[in-house]
Structure 1
Amino acid sequence: MSVTSPTCSTTSWHVQRILFLVAGLVTLAGVVLGVLVSPWFLLVPALVGANQLLMVAVGWCPMSLLLRRLGVSDAG
């Protein structure tokens, strides 16, 4: 019986992986700007969270549409 690793491949960058990267970077940037510049920047991570809920509810988000138009594959 072989056991597969639960981690994802680090050699391919598919839509889902890039979405997680962009969401994480934008969330961290919004929090840092919210702490250092203005609390209004905390709306950025809130919008990222709302976009993630949209992704869960209907299965797509604007960034995924853009990535697919740029030719990024769905799953690796």
Structure 2
Amino acid sequence: MTVEIAVRMLAGAMILLSLALAHWASPYWLLLTAFVGLNLLQSAFTNWCPAMTIFRWLGLRDSISK
């Protein structure tokens, strides 16, 4: 698994989790959804997000450019 795939998986899981929590617990969980979305948007422009650093530290490799 690469860092990029792990970031996408984490973002998708956090969005689904926050939507479920907003439905069953409190609508304030939608703030987590907004944070994840904003983080994905900024990472599109900067090619960096905090999760990438953590996944690299855990030993995941970067994707191989063709």
In the superposition, the TM-score normalised over structure 2's length comes to 0.91
Structure 1 match to 2:8: 20
Cα RMSD (Å) of the superposition?
0.9
Q: What is the percentage of aligned positions where both structures have the same residue? A: 33
If each structure's helix is expressed as a fraction of its own residues, which one has the higher value? 2
1:57 aligns with 2:45: yes
Alignment map for 1:37-52 (pairs within 5 Å): 37-52=25-40
Larger radius of gyration: 1
Q: How many residues of Structure 1 are paired with residues of Structure 2 in the alignment?
A: 64
> Using CA pairs below 8 Å that are at least 6 residues apart, which structure has the higher relative contact order?
2
| Structure 2 residues without counterparts, runs of 5 or longer | none
TM-score normalised over the length of structure 1:
0.80
